[in-house]
Chains A and B, each alone.
Chain A
Amino acid sequence: MKTSMYFGPFGGQYVPETLIPALDELEEAFLASATDSSFGEELLTLLRDYDGRPTPLYFASRMTKALGGAKIYLKREDLNHTGAHKINNALGQVLLAKRMGKKRIIAETGAGQHGVATATAAALFGLECVVYMGEEDIRRQAPNVDRMDLLGAKVISVTSGTGTLKDAVNEAIRDWVTNVEDSFYVIGSVMGPHPYPLMVREFQKVIGIEARAQILEKEGRLPDQVIACVGGGSNAMGIFHAFVKSAWRRGGWGWRRESTPPPSPEDGRGCSTAPTPTCSMMTTDRFSPPIPSPQGSTIRGSARSTATSTTQAGPLMSPSPTTKLLKPSGAPAASRGSSPPLRAPTPSPTSTAPLPPCRRTASCW
């Protein structure tokens, strides 16, 4: 490995040995692409002419008025081709796959946004595309299934495990293990084994680069807070990345997690990205927070919509010992007028608890 696989104590590669040569090959190709100006130009052209970037930064005047606090701007990632930020990453990865000479694209999808984006990118490059989707998600998201079908992708219903996103990831990885020589696995968020978290963030950071320039142009200053929803964390890392350095210069930065229903180990359901300071990992990288289960097995998320039902957020989204954790506001979203500013961290008792089993050792996990 030529780059660090870790974000604080999180990250790494927890996959079967069969995938190691593929991950090495991918890392090499990705790093080469990062310094290859022809790759950068081709991707930029696609993002502009095919996807429709830059997306606008829109001043939401009525929302600003209704909430009565901060001026609110929306970074309109919904205006990308296919309707979400997922295409930024899908175009980057499929372009890389094409340059690596891969013939077949594999993806997992939850709500179907990443599946649609990947099917679109694969169709654009004339590559075969197979998308794994939980059977329950297929039922809930029929229009996206139809779209993938129209784009020529084969959608495979996943019935193993809980029949949702995490199982779709597992099946996609099993497919990849079996077809590792000619297939490229396009992961849809900043998750999975190294180099995926790093690579997906690199392909998504365009969101923050644009947003930063746009807010400077409109307001002549940087925002007090940048807010994103987190499934695996790709749109969040995509927008946060460009702001993190400036936040440091302004006296530090931190995360504040606002979670949907709190994890409830008792009834076997937990919120996917809940602030549980226990260190654990899914089977492909080591990241926090997990849905609590004393045995280390994962249990399904409780999020009602599919998009946020990843089991855990990716390693970049995990609170490392050096990350400041800000207190969740605890207020319902609609009345959150005066949430604490980003640079005044009030650590919450749970989120500052030590991360017990997760030490950084010589072997670095």
Chain B
Amino acid sequence: MTSIAQAFAGKKALITYLAAGDPDLETTAFLLKLLDREGVDLLEVGIPFSDPLADGPVIQQAGQRALSGGATLKKILALLKTLAPEISAPRVLMGYMNSLIAYGLEAFADDSAAAGVSGVIVPDLPFHQSEELASLLKERDMDFILMVTPNTTDKRLKAIAEKASGFLYCVSTLGVTGDSANAGTPLKEYTDRVRSITSLPLALGFGVNSPEKARLAAEAADGVVVGSALISLLEPCGTNLECLEKKAVPFLRSLQPSLQPGSGLVK
């Protein structure tokens, strides 16, 4: 079983997103270890980028802080390599295609594998253009995680599911990260449609900002992604580790019960 499959095995997965290097890489290292210790099942590590089209203001600003703090993909990969022995939750890199092209796709795949990265998500790389990256990742036993949205047609969903591995990232709304408005389609109806097409685990993300939202998402999917809400919560702490810990721990613990069987429908 791959490390990502394990993250979804027998329970609803709690997945967090942080922009690497926000506000500096030492803080990111501290937070990743903390999240792992607190039982987060999968860690999404964002590569900061100047033009993040799929992101709302919170993650845009986190990316800006990280870029101003000097974060680069090279440094992020080096950090992940150092942290690999200390963290058990699988790490998944999430970044835009420009950053990957600038790094070089093959070098990116090599260095990610060497850094112990389990999978990659590229929100602005639709699957019909992903052949090269997908095969580079596959050759190195990393998962290529694709996104689907409420307006993805069944035909396209089938094609995406065939290419994807690890899990399918189900974007909960028509919108950008941090949007808490709903898609109009009930979550359960949406994930049922996706499930009728694929047996991959499904993670719901975009706009999950409270235990209640997490519960609803966990009822419908196999995992829940929390990004903007966590970043907004931690932002005022800057690099104050004590403050970060004080804010992060209760928040994560408030989410955990929403993911337990019995809090809603059991998988």
Question: Is B100 at the interface (CB under 8 A from chain A)?
Answer: yes
Question: Is A21 at the interface (CB under 8 A from chain B)?
Answer: yes
Question: Is B130 at the interface (CB under 8 A from chain A)?
Answer: yes
A21→B154 CA distance, assembly (Å): 11
**Are B53 and A170 within 8 A (Cβ)?**
yes
A299→B73 CA distance, assembly (Å): 17
Q: Given A295-B72, A298-B51 in contact, is the A283-B103 Cβ separation under 8 Å? A: no
- Closest chain A CB from B263 CB (angstroms): 29
**Are B176 and A178 within 8 A (Cβ)?**
yes
In the complex formed, the residue of A with least CB distance to B95 is A296
**Are B53 and A283 within 8 A (Cβ)?**
yes
Q: Given A17-B148, A282-B51 in contact, is the A161-B60 Cβ separation under 8 Å? A: yes
- Closest chain A CB from B103 CB (angstroms): 7
Query: Interface size on B (CB < 8 Å)?
Result: 47
Interface-side segment among B24-32, B35-43, B119-127, B196-204: B119-127
Count class of interface residues, chain A: 35 or more
In the complex formed, the residue of B with least CB distance to A180 is B174
Pick 27 A–B contacts, CB within 8 A, sort by A: A13-B126, A13-B128, A15-B124, A16-B54, A16-B171, A17-B126, A17-B146, A17-B171, A161-B51, A167-B51, A174-B53, A177-B54, A178-B174, A178-B175, A179-B174, A181-B174, A281-B97, A283-B51, A283-B124, A286-B101, A296-B49, A296-B99, A296-B100, A296-B101, A297-B48, A297-B51, A357-B104
**Are B176 and A17 within 8 A (Cβ)?**
no
| CB contact list, B86-140 vs A, under 8 A | 96-105, 123-126, 128-132
Question: Is B240 at the interface (CB under 8 A from chain A)?
Answer: no
- Interfacial residues, chain A to chain B (CB-CB below 8 A): 1, 12-18, 20-21, 160-161, 166-167, 170, 173-174, 177-181, 279-284, 286, 293-299, 357, 361-365
Q: Given A178-B179, A363-B131 in contact, is the A21-B152 Cβ separation under 8 Å? A: yes
Task: Give which listed residue, B49, B96, B175, contacts A177 with CB less than 8 A.
Answer: B175
Q: Given A20-B126, A280-B98, A295-B99 in contact, is the A357-B53 Cβ separation under 8 Å? A: no
Task: Give which listed residue, B48, B97, B148, B174, contacts A14 with CB less than 8 A.
Answer: B97
Task: Give which listed residue, B123, B129, B175, contacts A365 with CB less than 8 A.
Answer: B129
A293→B131 CA distance, assembly (Å): 26
**Are B73 and A295 within 8 A (Cβ)?**
yes
In the complex formed, the residue of B with least CB distance to A297 is B50
A357→B107 CA distance, assembly (Å): 11
A358→B99 CA distance, assembly (Å): 14
- A contact residues around B156 at 8 Å (CB): 20-21
**Are A295 and B102 within 8 A (Cβ)?**
yes
For the complex of A and B, list the 3 residue pairs with the smallest distance between their C-beta atoms, beginning with the closest: A296-B102, A363-B131, A297-B50
A101→B97 CA distance, assembly (Å): 33
- Closest chain B CB from A7 CB (angstroms): 15
Query: 1/0 per position for B147-189, CB-CB distance to A under 8 A?
Result: 1110111001000100000000001001110010000000000
In the complex formed, the residue of A with least CB distance to B176 is A174
Q: Given A21-B153, A357-B104 in contact, is the A14-B49 Cβ separation under 8 Å? A: no
A286→B125 CA distance, assembly (Å): 11
**Are A166 and B51 within 8 A (Cβ)?**
yes
**Are A297 and B49 within 8 A (Cβ)?**
yes
